[in-house]
Structure 1
Amino acid sequence: MEMDTMVAWSGLAFLLVIDWRLACLAVLTILAWRFYYWAWVTPKRLEKLLREQGFDGNPYKVLVGDLKENSQLLKEAHSKPIGVDDNTLPRVYPIVHKSIQKYGKKNFVWLGRIPRVTILDPEHVKEVLTYYNTFQKHFAAQNPLCKLLITGLGALEGDRYHKHKKIISPALHLEKLKGMVSAFDAVYSDLIVKLKKMTESTGSVELDVFPLFETVTSDVISRTAYGSSYTEGKNIFALLKEIRDLTVVLQLRPNIPYSQYV
């Protein structure tokens, strides 16, 4: 009797081990299939649909897309000086510039597993802006980091976008903009005085104009939007710049869900 009981328990334990292993195998199989569908099937399906609609671009590369090529093009572009009359697109967004040159006005590039479409036909652009409920941005779905930088009207969708656009439109009327001229005049007058002081002793000076105009732009925004000055909000602008720079670096990497917890 005892022997039969032991055999029965041994058989039950064996079955439990088998069931546990089968359950784990089933879970792993489901996860592997979902990852395959997410990382390969969905992007390739989108690529097929885009090509059927007349768009052209590089074939999809698993997870990385065109990010690696874009990173290399950025390093190459930033290694050379840029002239005053040079086209800025090859330096700011070289992968898009290359795609336009190679594939024409209707093209797409891969930001990881997400295709980004470029359209240069004014009629198509008008259609996208008119049917805002159909053509949505989906920033959060593409990359959650975008929520750090793209806020306000630029991040809204559908009816909320239309409502807020109506609210801010009066602020951009010509008469309203005329009221900002005094702020522009004050900022650029200060800039001219600063530049004259720099050249008083030598007659000329070599300087990096990018941070200078970045400061001027921030000062204009502070005076027109908040009624203060760049000096008062200097720390806030510095933090925003740091967030922007970090976000740009992270955007060059593939966006894998929950990878930040690994």
Structure 2
Amino acid sequence: MQVDLYVAAVPADIPAWVMQRLDASEQARALRLVQAVDRRAYVTAHGLLHLALDRAAIAPDKRRFETGAFGKPHLVGVDCPVHFNLSHCRAWVAVAVSRCGEVGVDIETDDRVWMLAGMDDAWLSSSECDDLDESVSSGPECYSGETPAHGRPEEAAGGIGSPGAVLPAAAQRLAWWVAKEALVKAAGLGLHQPLSDLTLPQVTGPGWYQATQLPLAFGPPGSAAWPWRLWHSDNFWLGLALKHGGGALPGVRLQRVAFTPDGPHFSPAMVLPETAL
């Protein structure tokens, strides 16, 4: 089993073919967005979703969407369940597609760190705040937003850094933010779930993680695992979360997509292997 993860930069000028890929309701929603920057991000994200569903062999005439209780969209009327989630900020978009359970994705740019500064009590748990205090006291709190020095981050098993190295506090905030957003989106909880109710371990390198504590909205303890992982590349942070029943985790295939005037260009995929929890 595999999760396909697609990432694309929002182009300054949206090619005409992208808008044409959206269905009538998506096109109407895009046209209602007042700010051009928000409209570009929305159109790019939904265009990427349709490209991802093409690759998942979901025909356009089978793409009927409904939303859950808290607004998470899902496909209905398909023979084999296909789960998806999308995320966009003003510069980047991401789409995750899974046939092995619910999935959530979140993408944020490095400059989000300035928006998170001073907001710890609003979305971090008390133990996470303690972890940040300890990381600041043990070393300088600095984060330049630069990618690691060992090559392209997506080629370095996640682009988070050396295993065992605790991230600076500012980067830890960004890592936790995208991970928590991905988790609540995977569970279909959206804004209904306070992020401070989730407690995550410190990120110390690439690989899968599990939450230290999740609220009951994620299900009774032991009913399912909710593994998550991160990537950092080109001034964005990307979080992926899954609902997982146990055993080996699915592999993840991460692929860049460029929106060119002549059509989409898919970069070679990076495949992350299956691993056990």
If the length of structure 1 is used for normalisation, what is the TM-score? 0.26
Higher-strand-fraction structure? 2
Q: Which has the larger radius of gyration?
A: 1
Higher helix share: 1
| TM-score where L is the length of structure 2 | 0.25
Structure scoring higher RCO (CA < 8 A, sep ≥ 6) equals: 2
